[in-house]
Amino acid sequence: MDFQAIVIGLLAILIGLAFVFAGFRLFLILLPIWGFFAGFFFGAEMVSVIFGTGFLADVTGFVVGFVFALVFAVASYLWYWLAVAVLGGTVGYAVGVGLVGFLGISNNFINVLIGILFAVVFALAAIWLRLPKYLAIVLTSVGGAFAAVAGLAILFGKLDTAVLAHTGATIGAIKDLNWLWLAGAIVLTLIGIWYQTRSTDLTEAVAYNSYRNPGTPAAV
């Protein structure tokens, strides 16, 4: 295992667990971190697709990934609604792609179409519902659990770092491993939901105006 895989695997585990167990309480802090993480892999994946090179195979992938990471992180810090939409959309896409995979449908066009539809629904729900407490808990628990398990699988040499390019690929890759990995991700998700629910005020809700990032203008 190379140094790159070790660093990326550990980062995925740490950030994933932070979302699982403290996603609600640290939501504002974790949003730009999630944006940085997602932006880096998005940029690196774009380089891989455009130039036909391997994922993070050269310096260009790292440089472009870092640029996208900064853009996503800053945007997530300044514009709360955009960060929430990205988080909801990535989880929604993962759910859609995962559902298609479980149904045994292998058509790539259908996979992408269903994933996009779920992403749009989740993103809009996250904004329109003003991100109530339980939506925040579920989104952070699901996204964090699968990222953490994927990071662990990377450290064990079971997955390539490219699977972290988006959450849908992460769930699909974990699903193709031994069923214990998928079971672990599901169990970790449920533990996160249970823990966050028990550790916060049951009557508390995430008010959009009260939980927006610094620099954000009036609520949409």
Of the spans 26-30, 41-45, 72-76, which averages the highest pLDDT? 72-76
Token duo for residue 207: 């008010």
Q: Which of 4-8, 52-56, 145-149 has the lowest mean pLDDT?
A: 52-56
* 174-197 confidence digits (pLDDT tens): 767 778 888 888 999 999 999 988
pLDDT at residue number 165: 55
pLDDT category at 219 given cuts 50, 70, 90 is very low
- Whether 220 has a pLDDT exceeding 50, the answer reads no
Cα 64–68–70 angle (5° rounding)?
120
Of the spans 18-22, 34-38, 207-211, which averages the highest pLDDT? 18-22
Q: What is the distance in angstroms between the CA of the first residue and the CA of the last residue of the chain?
A: 46
For the chain, the domains span: 3-199
CB under 8 Å to 165, separation ≥6 — which residues? Answer: 41, 42, 44, 45, 55
pTM score of the predicted model: 0.63
pLDDT at residue number 81: 74
CA atoms of 51 and 188, how far apart (whole Å):
37
* 145-174 confidence digits (pLDDT tens): 888 888 888 888 877 766 665 555 566 677
* 11-20 confidence digits (pLDDT tens): 888 988 988 9
Q: Which residue has the higher pLDDT, 173 or 33?
A: 33
CA atoms of 117 and 201, how far apart (whole Å):
33
Contact 65, 44 (CB under 8 A): yes
Nearest one of 85, 79, 92 to 138, comparing CA atoms: 92
* 77-130 confidence digits (pLDDT tens): 777 777 777 777 777 777 776 777 667 766 656 766 787 788 889 888 877 776
pLDDT at residue number 68: 84
